[in-house]
Structure 1
C-alpha cells in the first residue's frame, strides 16, 4: 500500500463526508504525481482516502476517468482567472501565481501522466488546455494591444509554461515569496518588446553528434525516441521500432538487450550531448550572462531538433530500472545546477533557490515549445527565457 502526502488525514471509516470527491481527487493527484499513474491502483487511492474501493466507483468509473477528471479540475482555475473582467496585469498575474502553487502537480499530470489515457480522453484535455491558452492570450492582448495575435498567443503559452514549471522540481520557498516570483515572471513574459515570429529564427549550433550518416544503431535510437514521443513507451513494440528504422524488429536485439535498454540509451545519448555543449559554452563564454544566453540557445535548438529526447525525459524515465532512473535524474540535476551557478554569478542578489526556480521556468518554456509546437522560433523562445532568468524582479522575504 502507498501513502498520499500533502493531503488532509483521511476521514474515519464508515463516514461519508460531503467533500469525498474532493478528497479522492486530491489523493489521486498526489499519488499519480509522486509515483506515476501506472504504479498506482484504485485500491491505493481508496486506502489513502480511508474508504473501500467500491466508494471510489460511486464517483468515478475507473482510473482513467479519475485522471481525466482531476486534470480538468486542475485546469479550471486558470481559465476562471483569465475570464475575470477589469483586473490589472499585476492582480491577474498574482492570482495565476497563486493558482499555480495551489495546483503544483498540473504540469506533470498533464505532460506525463495523461499519456496513459485513450486518445479520446486526451483530446478532451487538449481542448481544455486550448481554452486556458486562449484565456492567457486574451490577458496578454488586454495589457499589450500593440502585439500581433501570433505574438500574444506565443506569450500566453510561455506564461502557462512559467506557471506550471514548479511541477518539475521540489524547490521550496515561502508562499508569499514564491507567488511574488511567479507573478514577476508572468509580468516579464508579457512586458517584453514585440517579437518577430515568422520562420524559425537564427539557427543555433546544431547537435552534430546526432547528425551525419547514421548506423543501424543510431537509426534505432532515433526511431525509438520518435515513437516513444508520439505514442508513449508502453504502446511501442520492438517491431514498431524496427519497422520505423527500416530493419526487422528482432534485429534490434543485436544492438540492445531490450526495449528498456534502448530507452536508457536514448536518454544517455541526449544527456551526453547536453554535457558536451555545456563544457563548450563554459570554455568559450567567460561572462556568466553571455554563457546563459548561449546555453539557452543551444538547448532550445536541441529541444526542437531532438524533441523525442525531451518527451522521453519528461514522460518515460519512470520506465527505467531504479538505479538507471536515479543516474539520469542525477545527471539532469547536475546539468541544471550549472545553469543555477551561472545565474547566481550574473545576478549576485539571487540565492540558489530563486535562481533554480527561474532557470526551471526558462527550460520549461523551451521544452513546452518543442513538445507542443506553440512556436518553432528559436530566437523568440530564447528572448523570453533569457528575460525570465535575467530580468525577473526578485524581492527578499522581508519584502513579501
Structure 2
C-alpha cells in the first residue's frame, strides 16, 4: 500500500505493529462516531502517541480512511480466495461480518467522503469480489442468469454489512450459524416470474405554500446523502434550487437547521407511508407483508431520505439526534415484534438481526446500479427480504 493507491495483498497479509493498531482504532472510532467527528489527534491519543507520530504512518485523515476501508476489503478478499461453493461462501461471509464489523458502515457512510479516484478504486475491488461470488453461485445454480447472480451477491454483502448498524450479538457460534442460514436462504432465491412493478411516483410539491422550502428540503437530503453534510455548502444548496446561497437563510437559520428539518420530514413520510400499512392489517403476517411492500415502495421513491437518515444523523444537535434515534428504535421495535408474532421460535436477538439485515438489503438495493434500474426490482427485493426474514 502507498499514500496514493492501494496494492491488495495476495495472501490476506495484515500490516504489522503500530500501523495495525492505528488502523484498528481508527476503524472503531470512524464506525462509532463518523469520519468527520474524529480527529487525527483523537486517534493518536487513543494509542498514547503524538499526532506527529501518527502522521509518520499516514499523511492525513483521508489516507487513513482509505486504508481503513481498504483493509476491510482486503479481509473480505482473503476470506473469499479459498472458497469453493456457496456453502463455504456463506461461512466466509459470516466470519468477515463478525470480525470486520465496522466495514459495512465504513463502506456505506464514510467511503463516499473519499476523493472520487480513491472511491472508484475501492469499488473496483469490491466489484471483483462480487464477480467471484457470482461465479461460485452460478456453478452451484447453473441456470441462474448472470444479472440475477450478481444481484443476489450484492444483496448478500448488504445483509452481512448490515450488522454494522447494531452492536448486539448472540454467542459467536450461534451468531455464525444464524448468518449462514440467512445467507443460504438469500442465495437460494429465484427471480423467475418476478413481475415488473414500477415505483409509484410521489406527488409534485409545486403550487403550494412553502414550495421553495420543500425544494430546499428535497435538495438537501439528496446532497447531504451523496456528499456528506460537511462537504455541502449553502452555495451548492442554493444552486440546486435556483437561488443564491445566502438566500437559504431566509428559510432556515443554519445549515444544521436545514439538516434537522430534512431528516424530520423524512421520518414523517416514513411514519405516514409505512406506519399506515403496518397499522392497517388485521393480523401480524398481513401487517408484515403490507409493511414490506410499503417500505420497498418508499425506498424506491425516497432512497436519498433513507441514506441521509443513516449517514447524517450523527451530525445533528443532541436533541434532534435523540429524536432521530428514538424514532429508529421504535420503528425497529415494531418490526421485530411483528416478526416474532409470525415466527414465535425467534428470540429477540435473532429477530433484530433479521430485521436489520432486511432493511440493509432494501436500502442498498434501491441505490446499487445497474441492478436498481431493473423493472422487476420491487418484486426481487420483496422475495429476498422475505427470505432474510425467514418467511
Same fold (TM over 0.5): yes
3-state SS of 1:348 partner: coil
Query: Conserved in 2, the CA contact under 8 Å of 1:78 and 1:99?
Result: yes
Q: Which residue of 1 aligns with 2:280?
A: 284
TM-superposed deviation, 1:205: 5.9
TM-superposed deviation, 1:156: 0.6
Deviations 1:173-222 (A, max 9, x none): 11111111111111011111234578xx32466655x7665611111111
Q: Which residue of 1 aligns with 2:229?
A: 233
Q: Which residue of 2 aligns with 1:219?
A: 215
Residue 101 of structure 2 corresponds to residue 104 of structure 1: yes
Counterparts of 1:8-87 in structure 2, within 5 Å, are 19-84=17-82, 87=84
Counterparts of 1:241-320 in structure 2, within 5 Å, are 241-320=237-316
Residue 120 of structure 2 corresponds to residue 123 of structure 1: yes
Deviations 1:220-265 (A, max 9, x none): 1111112222322212222222221123333322321111111111
Residue 157 of structure 2 corresponds to residue 145 of structure 1: no
| Counterpart-to-counterpart distance in 1, 2:383 and 2:348 | 23
TM-superposed deviation, 1:330: 0.9
TM-superposed deviation, 1:167: 0.2
Deviations 1:308-328 (A, max 9, x none): 212211211221111211110
TM-superposed deviation, 1:286: 1.7
| Counterpart-to-counterpart distance in 2, 1:116 and 1:202 | 33
Check 1:296–1:213 CA distance in 2 against 1; reply closer, same or farther (3 A cut): farther
| Counterpart-to-counterpart distance in 1, 2:358 and 2:261 | 26
Residue 85 of structure 2 corresponds to residue 93 of structure 1: no
Q: Which residue of 2 aligns with 1:327?
A: 323
| Counterpart-to-counterpart distance in 2, 1:352 and 1:204 | 33
Check 1:325–1:184 CA distance in 2 against 1; reply closer, same or farther (3 A cut): same
| Counterpart-to-counterpart distance in 1, 2:124 and 2:173 | 32
Q: Which residue of 2 aligns with 1:10?
A: none
Q: Which residue of 1 aligns with 2:382?
A: 382
Query: Conserved in 2, the CA contact under 8 Å of 1:307 and 1:370?
Result: yes
Check 1:304–1:282 CA distance in 2 against 1; reply closer, same or farther (3 A cut): closer
3-state SS of 2:390 partner: helix
| Counterpart-to-counterpart distance in 2, 1:279 and 1:95 | 36
Query: What do you get for the CA RMSD once the two structures are aligned?
Result: 2.1
| Counterpart-to-counterpart distance in 1, 2:144 and 2:239 | 46
Query: Conserved in 1, the CA contact under 8 Å of 2:274 and 2:295?
Result: no
TM-superposed deviation, 1:43: 2.1
TM-score of the pair, normalised by structure 1: 0.87
TM-superposed deviation, 1:136: 2.3
Deviations 1:100-124 (A, max 9, x none): 1000000111111223322222122
Deviations 1:293-351 (A, max 9, x none): 22122112211211221221121122111121111011011111111111001100011
Deviations 1:337-389 (A, max 9, x none): 11111100110001111101001101101111123334341110111011110
Equivalent residue in structure 2 for 1:202, among 194, 197, 201: 197
TM-superposed deviation, 1:162: 0.8
